[in-house]
Copies of this chain bind each other. A is one copy, B any other.
């Protein structure tokens, strides 16, 4: 069975995005590629674990995480806004989760166009379990990082999130 080619790569073993820069490049660029490769490393690991251990995906996990905060459920339109994807995609993910009994749609009698999605009891149990694992994975990945670095990262990323300036043309005029 040597004709099979499963993807088996240790990311630390190969150069990554950051290696595409040279010291002469702007610090911003090197910073960005370093941040991106950190994120990709961690995100890939989480996606892979969600897949192998819970047979699910990050968007599905995220949708359930949104619902978990709102015991009464959320309107599809709000889910779409918070998750920054279009309506049709929320319908699709909700369909999958509903088929597995993890969420349910509740029709709204006041406005019969809209419905509310919420976690079922089974969905709440499943999410709690996944969220615990998810947290363990993250903790274990950050394990070697000194406390001061953690604090500093948290603070400066907070600044960055505020300061990041999106190009005007990519935003709606209003």
Contact = CB atoms under 8 A, between A and B. Distances in A.
30 contacts: A9-B84, A11-B84, A11-B166, A12-B166, A14-B84, A20-B66, A20-B69, A28-B135, A29-B138, A29-B139, A30-B154, A31-B153, A34-B154, A34-B157, A34-B158, A35-B35, A35-B39, A37-B161, A38-B160, A38-B161, A39-B39, A41-B164, A49-B170, A140-B165, A142-B160, A144-B163, A145-B159, A146-B159, A149-B159, A152-B152
A81 B14 contact: yes
B157 A38 contact: yes
Interface of A: 5, 7-12, 14-18, 20, 25-32, 34-39, 41-45, 48-49, 62, 65-66, 69, 81-82, 84-87, 135, 137-146, 149-154, 156-167, 170-172
Contacts of A35: 35, 38-39, 153, 157
